[in-house]
Amino acid sequence: MKISERIKKVPPYISAEIDKKVADLTKKGIDVITLAIGDPDIPTPENIIKVMEREIHNPAYHRYPAYEGSYEFRCAVARYYSKRFEVELDPDTEVMALIGSKEGIVNTAYAFIDEDDYALIPDPAYPVYKTATLFAGGIPYTMPLLKENKFLPDFTKVDKDIAEKATIMFLCYPNNPTSAVANKEFFEEAIEFAKKYDIVICHDSAYADIIYEDYKAPSILSAKGAKETAIELGSLSKPYRMTGWRIGYAVGNKDIIKALGRIKTNVDSGQFTAIQSAAVEALSGPQDSVEEFRRILTKRRNFVFEALKDMGFDVELPQGTFYIWASVPKGYISASFAEYLVDKAAVVVIPGNAYGEYGEGFFRISLTTPDDRIDEALSRMRKLKF
Ligand SMILES: *Cc1c(COP(=O)(O)O)cnc(C)c1O
């Protein structure tokens, strides 16, 4: 058997590795608390499930779904953008359904990266931008996200020759893993840079609605010129706790959407239409469950932030995402600190370097664990010496 070089080029997927580690410890009878994976612990809201229960019986949905997504779903996304961001979208040309935004990232990479093309990738970052680039045969070029720049890339530092050869840039705000946020001016700077070098921007907007207090994360599409060069990938996974349902969307520049569609028609057949109907209910129905989720997360965020500060960690209060990104204590690197927490407290966090070399020196805590388990994890940590 000859396994492709493509697979050998990429490291094993981080969540899969962590799942394995937790399973090993649990088998030994250890009560492991994982603060690692970003996957909501609270179920999908009832109103969404009810629509699914009804729609699953529609025989029209038992046949191949439309590649671009149902018209109703695309209209619901357009209405959401109009209401939430004051961005107007044509549901026929500027919206496409995705089988989760992860799928959209990979297929967008295939649509814009040829062998030896450069892709501009933030670091630290969600690992999929880089692996998708490698799968497509491209060359990842790192844009460091530094604490002193509030974890935003500095476009003036991008090598001009590389920028000339780059075809795509990935961005993500509110940011996983750093929990940093970006304003409209930053997006305008990104667009200006991208237009100068004829680069497509793929903005991963999975956390646009995981936001705190009065903060409202902007869409890149509300920035001037965005529709000339950018798409945004949205996801129902996080705000509506639908990670298992696999539903998201791509919105923005119609030529980019069209190219992505060309790849998708050859790779998949669109998400089950009943799931898209449930997603219409999520986007268009009552939003109290999202409010409630934000209230729960706000409480956890405040609690974890205060506890970590109290233990002497260098940490900031996030305005978005359900992650806390903190510096490891002196004398540790990311891996040794994460290992120390597992060994001494059976608490799993993600070492920052799992998100790239510039994540070294940090660790990430996810707030998607029940309150009492977070509480227990923090009391175990308080007993340790750093
Ligand atoms: C969770 C996550 C996604 C994946 O979302 P799906 O729509 O479930 O595929 C995409 N990007 C980032 C940064 C994420 O954290």
| Same domain, residue pair 217 and 341 | no
| Same domain, residue pair 118 and 158 | yes
Domain containing residue 232: 46-285
Q: Which one of 98, 108, 207, 238 would you pick to mutate in the ligand 1 pocket, going by the greatest count of ligand atoms within 8 A of its CB? A: 238
Give the pair of three-digit tokens for residue 73. 């779903």
**What are the tens digits of pLDDT across the range 18-32?**
778 788 889 999 999
| Same domain, residue pair 31 and 88 | no
| Same domain, residue pair 142 and 244 | yes
pLDDT at 10: 82
d(CA 362, CA 229): 33
Give whole-number Cα distances, 110 to 117, 141, 266, in Å.
11, 17, 11
| Same domain, residue pair 133 and 262 | yes
User: Helices marked H in 41-70 — which ranges?
Assistant: 46-55
pLDDT at 226: 98
Q: Which of 8-22, 82-96, 271-285 has the lowest mean pLDDT?
A: 8-22
**What are the tens digits of pLDDT across the range 94-127?**
999 999 999 999 999 999 999 999 999 999 999 9
pLDDT at 27: 92
Q: Name the band, by pLDDT with cuts 50, 70 and 90, for residue 17.
A: confident
| Same domain, residue pair 34 and 63 | no
Q: How far is the CA of 106 from the centre of ligand 1 (A)?
A: 12
Mean pLDDT score, 76-101: 98
| Same domain, residue pair 238 and 363 | no
| Same domain, residue pair 251 and 340 | no
The finding on whether 248 has its CB within 6 A of some atom of ligand 1 is yes
Whole-model pTM: value is 0.96
Percent of the chain with pLDDT over 90: 93
Number of structural domains found in the chain: 2
The finding on whether 126 has its CB within 6 A of some atom of ligand 1 is yes
The CATH number of residue 214's host domain is: 3.40.640.10
pLDDT at 9: 81
d(CA 86, CA 218): 10
pLDDT at 156: 98
The finding on whether 127 has its CB within 6 A of some atom of ligand 1 is no
- CA of 176, closest atom in ligand 1: 13
Helix axes 254-267, 101-112, angle to 10 degrees: 100
Mean pLDDT score, 302-320: 97
| Same domain, residue pair 25 and 82 | no
| Same domain, residue pair 22 and 80 | no
**Closest CA to ligand 1's atom 12:** 206
- The SS3 call for residue 33 is strand
- CA of 126, closest atom in ligand 1: 13
| Same domain, residue pair 29 and 172 | no
pLDDT over threshold 90, residue 197: yes
Mean pLDDT computed over every residue of the chain: 96
- CA of 172, closest atom in ligand 1: 13
pLDDT over threshold 80, residue 219: yes
Mean pLDDT score, 308-319: 97
Backbone angles phi, psi at 148, to 5 degrees: -65, -15
The finding on whether 237 has its CB within 6 A of some atom of ligand 1 is yes
Percent of the chain with pLDDT over 70: 100
**What are the tens digits of pLDDT across the range 349-378?**
999 999 999 999 999 999 999 999 999 999
Catalogue the long-range contacts made by 210-216 (C-beta closer than 8 Å, 24 or more residues apart). Answer: 210/174, 210/238, 210/239, 210/294, 210/297, 210/320, 210/321, 210/322, 211/174, 211/294, 211/319, 211/320, 212/294, 212/297, 212/298, 212/301, 212/318, 212/319, 212/320, 213/298, 213/319, 215/181, 215/319, 215/320
The CATH number of residue 355's host domain is: 3.90.1150.10
